[in-house]
């Protein structure tokens, strides 16, 4: 039981997708938690689940028509008395109509007539979920204050596997109860504040060849860059990860493999023009052999003379070329004078943000699962993280990025969702 949620009125909207069967369990769990659940089903939802099922499990009978309800204007009444509306599943059709303000049926009319917080739980096939139109429609809804629980990866209708599977009932119910207990003033744990954004991330340490066997490299594992790509993808971004590692990329990302600084420069500069955010997390070698041997060098031939030359300064070039509104993030891995060196790099490279970490700190930096960083911004602000997981660092970095994106809106809640007493 969630005491503060007990007795609160939730409209449970069910759109017409195969995941509608999961909404039955959402309904049951919410009622068991003491929530007053009002089910509103679309005509297409009734092709997958029965009206009688929801009428039996919910707190009142199922509603599905603007015209056959006892109320003269049912959508207005439902919208006014709701303390939260959750739509599970939210199909591609529902999301598009909602974003477009189309009141096609009772459920859409209700979400457009309410001032209560709205939570949507998308469910559709992977190709549909990844389509730019769907992501743009979700971006519109998020900017208007709608909260989203993104779908999981897993088995889909027809036997395919991929992203688009509706979140499990336990997660949805947990989010609903959390919102009710906080009077709608919290954001669902899994942010979707990068929906519709394009994020380019680099990761790993480059390898500069001495000969076909040997190379100059560094200790970077690429874990921090991969964590940023994963976090950005889960927050709704279309992510391209340019990585010098051979580790698999996070689900939902486009992975580009490179080895050398020159290869990384080519890929990043070609792709940066279309990116809203560029995160330069890779540890690019500062020097490379000027004339690598075309054959393996042998000890018997004596000590070779290796002449080094500087590699391209990719971050500086990205800063020079970046378009208006793009957010550029660099990293500074240091062992001494960390704050001073990071601040100097921020000023010199034309970046918006520099993430500095002392790689001599135990448990931080290269080849660890944890990190401790200071995030410096060009506007003079800064924040620090303790020694936490690299995924937590990734979210801290992306929080800073989101604050600097054009058209950034604050999280839903408060004045953005004024409440009307029933």
Measured between alpha carbons, how far is 231 from 404 in angstroms, rounded to an integer? 17
Give the whole-angstrom CA distance, residue 119 versus residue 190: 12
CA torsion, ordered 117, 121, 127, 132, to nearest 10 deg:
10
Characterize the bridge pairing of strands 353-358 and 327-334: parallel
Distance (Å, whole) CA 392 – CA 372: 10
- 45 with 13: CB under 8 angstroms? no
- What is d(CA 258, CA 236) in angstroms, rounded to the nearest whole number? 25
- Residue 112 near residue 98, CB atoms below 8 Å: yes
Please state, in angstroms and rounded to a whole number, the distance separating the CA atoms of residues 397 and 343.
16
Task: Provide the token pair at 405.
Answer: 């994106």
Q: Give the active site residues.
A: 218
Cα gap 261→244, rounded to integer Å: 9
Burial class (CB in 10 A: 0-12, 13-18, 19+), 337: exposed
């Amino acid at each position: 039981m969630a005491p503060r949620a007990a007795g609160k009125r939730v409209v449970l909207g069910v759109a017409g997708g195969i995941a509608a069967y999961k909404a039955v369990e959402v309904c049951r769990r919410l009622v068991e938690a003491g929530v007053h659940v009002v089910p509103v089903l679309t005509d297409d939802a009734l092709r997958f689940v029965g009206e009688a099922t929801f009428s039996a499990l919910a707190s009142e009978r199922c509603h599905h028509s603007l015209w056959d309800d006892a109320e003269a204007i049912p959508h207005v009444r439902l919208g006014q008395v709701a303390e939260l509306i959750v739509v599970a599943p939210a199909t591609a059709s529902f999301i598009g109509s909602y974003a477009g303000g189309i009141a096609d049926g009772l459920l859409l009319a209700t979400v457009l007539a309410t001032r209560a917080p709205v939570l949507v739980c998308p469910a559709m096939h992977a190709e549909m979920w990844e389509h730019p139109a769907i992501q743009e429609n979700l971006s519109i809804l998020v900017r208007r204050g709608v909260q989203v629980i993104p779908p999981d990866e897993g088995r889909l209708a027809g036997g395919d596997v991929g992203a688009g599977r509706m979140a499990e009932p336990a997660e949805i119910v947990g989010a609903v109860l959390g919102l009710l207990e906080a009077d709608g003033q919290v954001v669902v744990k899994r942010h979707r504040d990068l929906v519709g954004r394009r994020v380019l991330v680099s990761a790993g340490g480059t390898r500069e060849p001495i000969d076909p066997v040997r190379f100059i490299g560094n200790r970077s594992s690429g874990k921090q860059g991969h964590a940023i790509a994963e976090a950005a993808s889960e927050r709704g971004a279309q992510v391209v990860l340019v990585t010098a590692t051979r580790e698999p990329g996070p689900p939902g990302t486009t992975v580009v493999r490179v080895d050398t600084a020159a290869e990384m420069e080519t890929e990043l500069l070609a792709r940066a023009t279309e990116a809203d955010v560029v995160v330069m997390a890779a540890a690019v070698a500062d020097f490379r052999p000027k004339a690598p041997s075309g054959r393996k060098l042998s000890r018997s031939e004596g000590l070779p003379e290796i002449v080094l030359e500087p590699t391209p300064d990719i971050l500086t070039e990205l800063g020079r070329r970046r378009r208006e509104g793009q957010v550029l993030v660099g990293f500074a891995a240091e062992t001494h004078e960390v704050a001073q060196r990071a601040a100097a790099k921020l000023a010199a490279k034309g970046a918006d943000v520099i993430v500095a970490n002392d790689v001599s700190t135990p448990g931080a930096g290269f080849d660890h699962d944890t990190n401790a960083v200071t995030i410096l911004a060009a506007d003079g602000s800064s924040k620090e993280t303790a020694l936490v997981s690299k995924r937590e660092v990734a979210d801290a970095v992306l929080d800073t990025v989101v604050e600097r994106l054009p058209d950034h809106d604050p999280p839903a809640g408060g004045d953005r969702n004024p409440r009307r007493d029933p």
